[in-house]
Amino acid sequence: MSRWAWAGIDLDAVRHNVGVLRRAAGDAQVWAVVKANGYGHGALDVGRAALDAGAAGLCVALVDEGVALRDGGITAPILVLSQQPDDDVARAVRHQLAMTVYSGAGVAALERAGAREHPVHLKVDTGMRRVGATAGAVAEVARRIDDSPAARLVGLCTHLAVADEPDDPRTATQLDAFDAVVSDLAAAGLRPPLIHAANSAGTLAHPRARHTMVRAGIAVYGISPGPGVDHLAGELRPVMSLVARVSWVKRVEPGDGISYGLRHTFDRPTTVATVPIGYADGVPRRLFHGGGQVLIGGRRRPIVGVVTMDQLMVDCADDPVTIGDEVVLLGRQGTERVTATEWADRLGTIAYEITCGISPRIPRIPRLPLDRV
């Protein structure tokens, strides 16, 4: 190990989670969303494992991300989830990346790129208000795609804004609007085989959203999309663990302060371990203020002082801690477990931001989880 901090990536858990999603999705195809380097887990390894477990395709945000998967040898269908700058479209075509399109300009870009019957998914904005053709414009864009020799309409999709809050009636409003578009296009003779609205929460909590395909991201990584669907996410297994080794140990005295700003002062003699991982690795500086804890020797121990760029400190009380001891920042040690959702709750964010934030400086080690090695 080149450094004493790494992320363990449990590819068995990816396969298991895709199995859970496939069961939830019924007849619908499961496509695994591996944008942002697989939500920080490593897109290529996760993508391969997901396909291995029966995912029908992969979704990315950027053409670069799709090209990296192709360069890694993935031949399965890959969908780029939003319309892309013109300059990137020719690369998408060359690498057979299906494109999401929602305007005539999106079709024109494919034509300029010399595409022939390139697979296109038409995105409808039913309420997320991020990207997509409005319900009023969708028929015209669909016709434009259908008329173009550059494009072949293979999918029709939308994105749900509040699927992780199953009681929110606005999901039904979005799905009603989407159903209306699906039937209007069918009436006009346009029936793309892949109809999709569901993200992970949609897959787990909204049977109506499943249609013929779902796009699942966070659940592939073993994380519940949100507290409102925790009861449906119990079978998922977290994929990422974040582990380091103690690099320095010292005793401190009452009245000693620690770390930048000396914001924490000890009120008793105690043993402090230094751990060589910091905010440049994706452990947020403010995790200290949020009461962040790590696991050492199977026990929860508090981070003391602000997290610095490359190192953080932990109050180990009178435990016999030594240099080289394993520190679990995310994952399981003994009977204790720290999750990305716990960090997110402490920091006022969502687990997505936590795993995406684990920086490239941390080596990803595809491996069995700590409690199984």
Ligand X SMILES: Cc1ncc(COP(=O)(O)O)c(C=O)c1O
Residues that bind ligand X (CB under 6 A): 33, 81, 159, 199-201, 215-219, 225
Q: Is the CB of 206 or the CB of 245 nearer to ligand X?
A: 206
Q: Tell the smallest beta-carbon distance from residue 84 to ligand X (Å).
A: 14
Q: Which residues pair with 33 in a beta bridge?
A: 59
Contacts of 154 (CB under 8 A, 6+ apart): 98, 119, 120, 121, 192, 193, 194
Q: Is the CB of 200 or the CB of 293 nearer to ligand X?
A: 200
Pairing relationship of beta strands 194-198 and 257-258 according to DSSP bridges: unpaired
Residue of 39, 260, 279, 352 marked active site: 260
Q: Tell the smallest beta-carbon distance from residue 356 to ligand X (Å).
A: 10
Spatial separation of the C-alpha atoms in residues 307 and 289, rounded to whole Å:
9
Active site residue 102: no
> At CB < 8 A and 24+ separation, what contacts does 97-101 make?
97/60, 97/63, 97/66, 97/67, 97/70, 98/154, 98/155, 100/157, 101/141, 101/145, 101/151
* Among 122, 110, 43, residue whose Cα is nearest residue 360: 43
Which amino acid is residue 283, in one-letter code?
V
Residue nearest to ligand X (CB): 217
The residue ranges of DSSP E strands in 15-171, in sequence order, are: 29-33, 57-60, 78-80, 98-101, 118-123, 151-157
Write down the residue that tokens 């994929």 correspond to: 239
What is the token pair recorded at 131?
């990207």
Q: Is the CB of 213 or the CB of 275 nearer to ligand X?
A: 213
Q: Is the CB of 222 or the CB of 225 nearer to ligand X?
A: 225
Distance of CA 60 to the CA centre of its chain: 11
Residue of 35, 39, 102, 279 marked active site: 35
Q: Is the CB of 141 or the CB of 219 nearer to ligand X?
A: 219
Write down the residue that tokens 């936590």 correspond to: 354
Q: Are 122 and 145 in contact (CB under 8 A)?
A: yes
Q: Is the CB of 199 or the CB of 247 nearer to ligand X?
A: 199
Alpha helices in 53-198 (DSSP H): 63-71, 86-94, 104-112, 138-147, 170-187
Q: Is the CB of 148 or the CB of 158 nearer to ligand X?
A: 158
Q: Tell the smallest beta-carbon distance from residue 19 to ligand X (Å).
A: 16
Q: Tell the smallest beta-carbon distance from residue 269 to ligand X (Å).
A: 46
Contacts of 239 (CB under 8 A, 6+ apart): 9, 10, 11, 13, 14, 17, 41, 46, 220, 221, 222
Q: Tell the smallest beta-carbon distance from residue 162 to ligand X (Å).
A: 11
Question: What does the DSSP 8-state code read for residue 124?
Answer: B
Q: Tell the smallest beta-carbon distance from residue 199 to ligand X (Å).
A: 3
Q: Tell the smallest beta-carbon distance from residue 159 to ligand X (Å).
A: 5
**DSSP helix/strand/coil, 40:** coil
Question: What does the DSSP 8-state code read for residue 79?
Answer: E
Active site residue 123: no
Catalytically annotated residues: 35, 260
